[in-house]
Structure 1
Amino acid sequence: MYQPGHFAQQDIQLLQAHIQEYPFGTLATALDGLPQMNHLPFYYDLASNCLQAHIPKVNPLFAQVQQWLQRSSTPTEVSAELPVLVAFQGPDAYITPSWYPSKKEHGKVVPTWNYTVVHVTGRLRITQDPEWLTQHLTQLTNQQEPTRNSTWEMSDAPAEYTEGMMRVLCGLEIAVDHIVGKYKVSQNRQPQDQQGVLEHLQKSEQWHDRQLANLTMQVNRKTDNGN
């Protein structure tokens, strides 16, 4: 990822919180020279520093990864692991030059796009362990249900029904090696222009604009504190 210094975000706690706040990620793999992406909800297990997800076994990724692991394993290995990249896109917004007070001063302004994104690199393994899947789906559900003011639990559905659904799934677990973030929120502009962008995002009727404003303020607070 192209990452100019002023947009680099290295606060690991902020990046971990980003993944938990925007858990719908894009899993990028390259198998036999063919790049592909899968879009999945993830659960980030901080204790083990692993990302967890699941896919149906009919997803071509399941067969392709299995084949890769079989070719990559040696007789002394339990399993091999596939290097992968996962991107977690946060809020983004078009930024019009009319939001910059400096436009009235010299007119040397152009449109841009502000955005936040976190990239995770790691090693993927596949599991079909029913206990692992049960725990993963429970954690993922418990993570998301409060966002809908709901208390639905896995046990609310008939056990034979959920067991039948899990038989067609496999689990994905990614051991996290590196997390890098890019928060492009007008840090390269003059303070007056930064403030102009922030004020317009805060007043926007668009939810993602206001979310971007919140993240912008987080970045600004850390900058002001010298972090």
Structure 2
Amino acid sequence: MYVPSHFAVPADRQAALLSGGGFAHLVTPTAEGLRSTPLPLLFDAGRNALLGHVARNNPHWRDLPDAESLAILTGPDAYVSPGFYASKREHGRVVPTWNYEVLHVHGRLVAHDDVEWLRTLVTRLTDAHEALRDEPWQVTDAPEKFIDGQLRAIVGLELVISRVEGKAKLSQNRPEADQEGVIAGLSATGEPGDAAVATTMRWARADA
């Protein structure tokens, strides 16, 4: 990934994004070409790995290559209008762009077909994503035989991390007045994604 120095994600922010896990696109080279699967992934610091699972019928877990796979975890993104910039009113030499935050996580992919490994994984995934609910659902809320059947229908995947690239394109290359204009403009659209980018821009400016 091309990452200009002013868009590089600091190590502490990379660690925070990685720990947050979330929805990702897992891409693996195969003899038939690139194979991609969208799936939720959980970061395991002890294993330095991202963990997830796919349907047993999904060929992504079969015949895994020695070559690296890539997990792409995306943060919020938003279109940035030239009308947000103070520079537009000053000289008009501005164009549209897109602001976003993304992690590219590289590593070796390992498949896990053990039911108890999978039970632990789906329990951890569920607990992580149910944590903020008033009445969080638990794996044990479902009948045990039903869960056992579901576990037999999936295969675990572990991306053993070799390197991480992070890019946060958040108008850092623009004058401060333009950055403030983008934050104000995105905050005013009423779109949740735009508001999330504006919030991330505030964090980035505070940490700078």
Q: Determine the C-alpha separation between the residues in 1 that align with 2:24 and 2:97.
A: 24
Give the distance between the partners of 2:129 and 2:19, measured in 1 at CA: 10
SS in 1 for 2:68: strand
Secondary structure of the corresponding residue to residue 183 of structure 2: helix
Q: Aligned partner of 2:9: which letter?
A: Q
Tell me, in whole angstroms, the C-alpha distance in 2 between the residues paired with 1:46 and 1:95. Answer: 35
Which ranges of 4 or more aligned residues in structure 1 deviate by more than 4 Å? Answer: none
Counterpart among 88, 110, 114 of residue 99 in structure 2 = 114
TM-score, length-scaled by structure 2: 0.94
Q: How many residues align?
A: 208
- Measure, in 2, the Cα distance between the counterparts of 1:149 and 1:29: 38
Q: Is the 8 A contact 2:20 2:43 kept in 1?
A: no
| Cα shift at 1:140 | 0.2
Is 1:181 the counterpart of 2:166? The answer is: yes
Show the counterpart of 2:176. 191
After TM superposition, the structure 1 stretch with the greater mean CA deviation from structure 2, 19-28 or 117-126, is: 19-28
Unaligned runs of 5+ in 2: none
Aligned-residue offset at 1:33: 5.4
**Counterpart in the other structure of 1:42:** 41
What are the superposed Cα offsets for residues 12-60 of structure 1, whole Å, 9 maximum, x if unpaired? x322322444610000111115012110101111222110000111002
1:100 corresponds to which of 72, 85, 89: 85
How far does residue 190 in structure 1 lie from its aligned partner after superposition? 0.7
Query: In structure 2, what is the equivalent of residue 91 of structure 1?
Result: 76
Inter-partner Cα distance in structure 1 for 2:198 and 2:142: 39
**Shift of residue 82, structure 1, vs aligned partner:** 5.0
**TM-score w.r.t. length of structure 1:** 0.86
* Structure 1: unaligned runs, 5 residues or longer: 69-80
Alpha carbons of 1:222 and 1:102: their partners in 2 closer, same or farther (altered >3 Å)? Answer: same
For the 8 Å contact 1:10–1:180, the answer to whether it is kept is no
Asked if residue 26 in structure 1 is aligned to residue 25 in structure 2, the reply is yes
One-letter amino acid of the structure 2 residue matched with residue 8 of structure 1: A
RMSD of aligned alpha carbons? 1.5
In the alignment, which residue of structure 2 is the partner of 1:8? Answer: 8
